[in-house]
């Protein structure tokens, strides 16, 4: 049995364990690992409909060469504890061949961890300033990275995690740490009202919170309305400039209906240019016309950055 497990083990294959309350943050962390060449098993991505979840978890843990336990403010919950103990058995039997690594997310407390986890060196992401160096340290620990899936050498030249006043965009969500609670509040308020205003000082990260926090969370289906998750979105981000109606007419149709051919899109843009300055319900009617013409049930989000 031991030899078959050892044969099935895949180097660089990481099992990521997490509690349900930490799904969003753990998924973002999984994306960071994947962007850095690791093959990560994450339940929300890898469990198939109708699959026996406990059997699938055990199989993935047996095949993994490392287990990462993402821990939030609720600590290690009961069902997570079961899979972590299986990982502990593997680590005890083969400490050099199977790593067990706790990762401390927002609100986690080391003193509240089970004793068997306290004995393992943690990766601490609670301080956003230290998080990048902690992630780099983790990647050094996990030496078995598949070369063909690693980040291109020039990636960090244009995607530095240290942005100063530069905005994090949707594709940078995997690098965007420390604002999970703010993102949760935005989602909660957006579920209650169709208009959401985000105010803050210049340079406080409003655009990054919307683009790298809220929008990716909506696309992943985290907004619930009337008890149902909203999983389909059409999203347009525009900057009003000195000619807000022209900017609306030019940029929004291109983002909301990218499937239109050039001729139909130009006709729609010209129509918007004429109708939007009239005010009143013109913008709502224009958006509704697009929604009514589509067979899907996408919700629409317009982001004015900055209003």
pLDDT at position 176 is: 76
Tokens representing 81? 């504890």
Q: Element (H or E) spanning 59, and its range?
A: helix 53-63
CA–CA dist 230, 246 (Å, integer): 30
CB atoms within 10 A of CB 18: 26
CA–CA dist 284, 264 (Å, integer): 20
Residue-wise pLDDT for 99-120, tens only, equals 889 999 888 888 877 777 777 8
Least confident of 54-63, 81-90, 266-275: 81-90
pTM for this structure?
Answer: 0.52
Chain position carrying tokens 């655009």: 207
Q: For the chain, list the strands marked E by DSSP.
A: 13-17, 39-41, 66-71, 99-104, 123-124, 224-225, 228-229, 233-238, 299-304
CA–CA dist 91, 85 (Å, integer): 10
CA–CA dist 152, 159 (Å, integer): 11
CA–CA dist 115, 272 (Å, integer): 63
Tokens representing 261? 């051919």
pLDDT at position 78 is: 62
Least confident of 27-41, 109-123, 152-166: 152-166
Chain position carrying tokens 């016309």: 289
* DSSP-based three-state secondary structure for 104: strand
pLDDT at position 68 is: 92
* More confident call, 286 vs 259: 286
> How sure is the predictor about 146, in pLDDT bands with cuts at 50, 70 and 90?
very low
Chain position carrying tokens 């400490």: 95
Q: Do the beta carbons of residue 269 and residue 249 sit within 8 Å?
A: yes
CATH number of 2-151: 3.40.50.10140
CA–CA dist 175, 162 (Å, integer): 9
The sign of the dihedral angle between the CA atoms of 218, 222, 228, 232 is positive
Tokens representing 37? 């060449």
- Domain residue ranges of the chain, discontinuous segments joined by +: 2-151, 170-304
């Amino acid at each position: 049995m031991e030899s078959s497990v050892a044969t099935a083990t895949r180097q660089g294959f990481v099992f990521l364990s997490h509690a349900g309350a930490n799904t969003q943050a753990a998924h973002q962390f999984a994306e960071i690992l994947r962007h850095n060449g690791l093959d990560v098993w994450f339940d929300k991505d890898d469990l198939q409909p109708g699959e026996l979840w406990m059997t699938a978890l055990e199989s993935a843990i047996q095949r993994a060469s490392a287990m990462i336990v993402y821990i939030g403010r609720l600590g290690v919950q009961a069902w997570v504890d079961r899979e972590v103990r299986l990982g502990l058995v593997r680590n005890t039997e083969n400490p050099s061949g199977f790593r067990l690594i706790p990762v401390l997310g927002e609100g986690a407390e080391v003193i509240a961890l089970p004793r068997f986890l306290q004995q393992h060196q943690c990766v601490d992401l609670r301080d956003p300033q230290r998080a990048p160096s902690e992630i780099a340290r983790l990647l050094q620990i996990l030496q078995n990275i598949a070369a063909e899936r690693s980040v291109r050498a020039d990636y960090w030249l244009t995607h530095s995690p240290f942005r100063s006043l530069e905005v994090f965009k949707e594709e940078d969500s995997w690098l965007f740490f420390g604002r999970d609670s703010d993102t949760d509040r935005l989602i909660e308020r957006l579920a209650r009202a169709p208009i959401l205003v985000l105010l803050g000082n210049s340079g406080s990260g409003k655009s990054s919170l919307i683009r790298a926090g809220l929008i990716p969370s909506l696309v992943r289906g985290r907004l619930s309305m009337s008890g149902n998750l909203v999983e389909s979105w059409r999203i347009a981000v525009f900057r009003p400039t000195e000619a807000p109606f022209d900017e609306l007419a030019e940029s929004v149709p291109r983002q909301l209906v990218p499937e239109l051919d050039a001729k139909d899109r130009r006709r729609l843009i010209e129509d918007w240019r004429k109708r939007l300055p009239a005010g009143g319900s013109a913008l709502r009617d224009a958006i509704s016309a697009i929604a009514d013409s589509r067979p899907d049930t996408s919700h629409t989000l317009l982001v004015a950055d900055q209003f």
